[in-house]
Amino acid sequence: MTESNRQKKIAGVLQEDLAQTIQNLLRQAGQLHIIVTVTKVSVTVDLSVAKVYLSVFPSDKAESLVSEIKQMAPKIKHDVAQKVKHQLRKMPELIFYNDDSLDYIENIEKAVKGSENPLENPDLLDRRKKK
């Protein structure tokens, strides 16, 4: 099912404001050598839930950082709600996910450049889980 224009607009506004808010929180916490990118925001049809996909560099710190951000979700929601209060009536609930697509692409490139063919031996690549 395709997203409506309203869903796309809300997702775009949330993506930009979430990125600024998360970067500010990281800066305040003193974590200077970590880059967090909001790669995608997907809003449900009833506009009550927003799935936020985060890409973290370096990727070895991704799991711990995303879990930390999940714990700070109420504060992040409040900060973003203050920014978008003139654009949205109700702030959607935020659910954060780790976007590991860049790591997955990197693994594919390594497998392709390697000596074995991943098409003939699919065990070379990890299976991706649906979210």
Distance CA 120, CA 118 (A): 5
Task: Please indicate, yes or no, whether residues 109 and 53 belong to a single structural domain of this protein.
Answer: no
- Give pLDDT tens digits for 22-77: 999 888 888 778 888 999 999 999 999 999 999 988 888 888 889 999 999 999 99
State the residue range of the domain holding 130: 101-131
Residue 123 and residue 62: Cα distance in Å, rounded?
24
> In CATH, what number is assigned to the domain containing residue 41?
3.30.300.20
Domain tally for the chain?
Answer: 2
Q: Quick one: 105 and 71 in the same domain?
A: no
Q: With a cut of 80, say whether residue 93 has pLDDT above it.
A: yes
Residue 85 is encoded by which pair of tokens? 């209060």
Give the integer Cα–Cα distance in Å for 85 and 73: 17
3-state secondary structure 50-83: EEEEEEEECHHHHHHHHHHHHHCHHHHHHHHHHH
Angstrom distance (rounded) from CA 78 to CA 68: 16
- For residues 70 and 118, membership in a common domain is answered with no
Range picked from 58-62, 92-96, 101-105 for highest mean pLDDT: 92-96
- Shared domain for 26 and 58, answered yes or no, is yes
